[in-house]
Amino acid sequence: MTVQPDIGSVRLPDLPHWEEIPDDLPAAIVEIKQALRARIQASGRSVEDVFAVIELRVHALVDDVLIARARGESVWPVIEYTDIANSTVTAEQLAYLRRRGCLVVRGHFDHDQARAWDRGIVDYVESNRFFENYRGPGDDFFASVGSTPEIYPIYWSPAQMQARQSDRTATVQRFLNHLWVSESSGVRWFDPDRDSLYPDRIRRRPQGAHSAGLGTHLDPGTLDLWMTRGYQQAFRHLFDGTVEAYDPWDAAHRTDGPQYPGSTMCSAFRTFQGWTALSDMDHDQGVLHTVPIPEAMGYLMLRPLLPDVDEDDMCGVTVNQVFPADGKHHALLLEALSGIPDVRAGDSVWWHCDMIHSVAPVRDQKGWGNVMYIPAAPWCPRNERYARSVLGAFLAGDSPSDFPEEHYERTWPNRFTVHDLNDTGRRGLGLTS
């Protein structure tokens, strides 16, 4: 058994950091890997020892998923919206949610409301001749075959804004945010009771569609996760000999730092990624999968430091590309990849912002596969900064600055307006505090 060092008495070497993308990426990767190893070793532990601690912890959670699956149990926690709203979620449900880091909220919205929003989106885009004017995918991340979009680069429809600013969404976001430690060391890292209304797109995948899906990846960042001061502090326990204290629900130092720019970036801090279903979807129709283990992030962060990875390689992570999780370096984690259960229009789906996820391929899809992407992005310095640019985009009908500059909605007369905002909407956009 390893004795944990008393690092209070040890002066650990500082880490180099790059607040902007380094000019020489391979050289910076070599430098940061050496520095991270030196810091771990100065704490009195080896990289292999620290990695083994995380591996053991994650291994037990992978086994837990595999056992649940073998028993035919749902791997994804499912909680009724009414239980969240009435504070009748049990301690057992909460513990399961915390263990898995993902959730289906049943009946987040009424089925009829979600179906009406789905029709409203069709009316919105058709009345503005979107399909006639569509210029093809603005980025290659979600590129689909042909010219009919699956991902609509539409942000300001009444349906989306009504869902974002609804009391029911605020209730679910508040519930999820409170799973995190939002305050520590006398700092309030974020406000769990106020959301910043992060605007994202819509997916409408028609029945009969063939889709290759999306491979296993993560969204929180790329090389900035190792190379910027903020993230180095956020992941401090992995690199200072106190790996046992690593807590994936600790928001300390996560809500201020910069992120390296890229075509798939998210400027906001999201506690959870999420979407709301606008159609009924069966579990085998090309749906979302996750590795339902928040602690796996510790594994992903330490894995590149092992000796079988080239010195200038971070297991394939680089800037301007999504963070990949692959069978070569992360085979243990991918064993736990688990899809959502059947969902109905009006249910919402959420997963911890650090978790590996993918979208399964589908052929000849049964029914529609329609979702509005609405995450939980609580108010914090980082999200307040981004909210300023979001407000400008909202008023002008622009694409938000995290997304390709497509700006389809600028001239659309029936988009959601500032007069349609309720109090939650105004607070989310920073118009009132």
53 or 315: whose CB is closer to Fe ion?
A: 315
CB atoms under 10 Å from CB of 135, counted, come to: 10
Distance (Å, rounded) from C-alpha 291 to C-alpha 330? Answer: 11
Q: Least distance (Å) from Fe ion to the CB of residue 412?
A: 27
Q: Least distance (Å) from Fe ion to the CB of residue 321?
A: 12
220 or 304: whose CB is closer to Fe ion?
A: 220
15 or 288: whose CB is closer to Fe ion?
A: 288
Stretch that binds Fe ion, among 23-31, 216-224, 295-303, 406-414 (CB under 5 A): 216-224
> Which of 338, 354, 20, 400 shows the shortest CA–CA distance to 219?
354
Query: What are the two backbone dihedrals, phi and then psi, of residue 19, each rounded to the nearest 5 degrees?
Result: -80, -10
32 or 297: whose CB is closer to Fe ion?
A: 297
Distance (Å, rounded) from C-alpha 148 to C-alpha 136? Answer: 8
Q: Least distance (Å) from Fe ion to the CB of residue 214?
A: 7
Q: Least distance (Å) from Fe ion to the CB of residue 369?
A: 16
Stretch that binds Fe ion, among 100-108, 143-151, 218-226, 403-411 (CB under 5 A): 218-226
Q: Least distance (Å) from Fe ion to the CB of residue 258?
A: 20
Contact call for residue 250 and Fe ion (CB under 5 A):
no
Distance (Å, rounded) from C-alpha 257 to C-alpha 230? Answer: 5
219 or 354: whose CB is closer to Fe ion?
A: 219
Q: Least distance (Å) from Fe ion to the CB of residue 264?
A: 8
CB distance 39 to 240 below 8 Å? yes
Of the residues 219, 354, 406, 409, which one makes contact with Fe ion according to CB under 5 A: 219
Distance (Å, rounded) from C-alpha 209 to C-alpha 365? Answer: 5
CB atoms under 10 Å from CB of 146, counted, come to: 7
Stretch that binds Fe ion, among 136-144, 159-167, 214-222, 255-263 (CB under 5 A): 214-222
> Which of 237, 273, 275 shows the shortest CA–CA distance to 253?
237
275 or 394: whose CB is closer to Fe ion?
A: 275
Distance (Å, rounded) from C-alpha 217 to C-alpha 264? Answer: 12
191 or 219: whose CB is closer to Fe ion?
A: 219
CB distance 211 to 150 below 8 Å? yes
> Which of 362, 396, 384 shows the shortest CA–CA distance to 150?
362
Stretch that binds Fe ion, among 10-18, 139-147, 219-227, 248-256 (CB under 5 A): 219-227
Residue where the block lists tokens 């009391």: 167
> Binding-site residue total for Fe ion (CB under 5 A)?
1
Using Cβ positions, the residue closest to Fe ion within the complex turns out to be: 219
- Non-local (6+) Cβ contacts of 84 within 8 A are 105, 171, 172, 175
Binding site for Fe ion (CB under 5 A): 219
